Structure 1
Amino acid sequence: MKTTIFFFSLALITLCNIFTANSAPDAVLDIYGRKASTGIEYFAMAYAIDDYGGSILSAPVANGSCPAGVVHIKPEGFFHRFTITPVNPKKTTIRVSTDVNIKFTGSDICNESNVWKVKYDEAMKQYAVMLGGVEGDPGAETLDNWFKIEKTVNGYKFVYCPSVCSNCKVMCKDVGTTIDANGVERFVLGGDPLIVNFWVF
């Protein structure tokens, strides 16, 4: 009897482990098919069918002055590296549909943090992706700093739909782009998402 119970328990534990492993979201992959990981500096190149799709940068967005926002530009050769950090700091693999912080590397051009955050832009009358966010510390106070990466047919898209606060009311929108009054293609919430692929060198 004890032997039967032992093997039943062992089988149950094995099934639970298999279910847990299979239920984990897919890993985000770079352009070479490698799993995206913490501590790696990436840059994102926008997908385009017939030409260079451009890349993602940080840039001052108020008439060419601070604060800094996240922008998309098309001239070839320009890019800005960033790191991706999952909500669980013990995890090293970046997975789709999970909360992450995104942080540009290098100097801070407007004397603020390089972490992405969502902030309402009065001039555009919509929510834009800016810099100056807080890294880590998931919860109600940091809702604006968490993004998700979702798989698409031709790459990945960024989504704002934080899950770090179970009792908070949040909006869920794709991160798309729009041209502001200064002619800058800004990252904003809503609209057609910008499809990107992740590179590293």
Structure 2
Amino acid sequence: MKLRFALLFSLVSAFSLAQTIYVDTGFKPAKREKSNNEFSRVAHFELAVPFVFNTHLGEYFYDGTKDNTWFVPAGAGVKAGYGIAYAETISLSLHSGIEWYQKLYIAPVFLNFNISSDVSDNGRLYIQAGIGRTFAIGRGNLQGVYQRYSIGYEDEEMIGFFLDLSLYGIKNEVGGHLGAVSLGISKRLF
């Protein structure tokens, strides 16, 4: 009997409709204006595409056209970070993410320092530097010192476009260290 009652109660609850009523009281909380003299939390999200020099530059395709592309995409990367900011111009945050670069999956964990300056009423120019560790995923104990240098432009909605140089600290087959030049978009939230 208890089982039938529980089943009936579940069916009635699952198919019942509910309605929400909103009452407008006319009260709207005041928006908090940002002061230029305060610390705040910041979240930073990035999506980037690394580019490499085209080794087939000047060669011909099967259809007879010539390959004139100087740089070609070599992967993709996404990073996110969280930290503190002072007056929305200087920030220090801890970042992590995953990057796919030429058959290698890399997970950098790094401390990022960001300085930005207003260049117009609508936007700001920023530079970033970061240092930390990078770990190759699925490659055993392959890791290195990660360095990152970036320059970019943000609009008033904190959406930015940037040019990024990442040095992974991992040796490649030739004996040099892996690095990438990337173009990307970013979003900061305060």
TM-score (norm 2): 0.29
Looking at CA atoms only, which structure, 1 or 2, has the larger radius of gyration?
A: 2
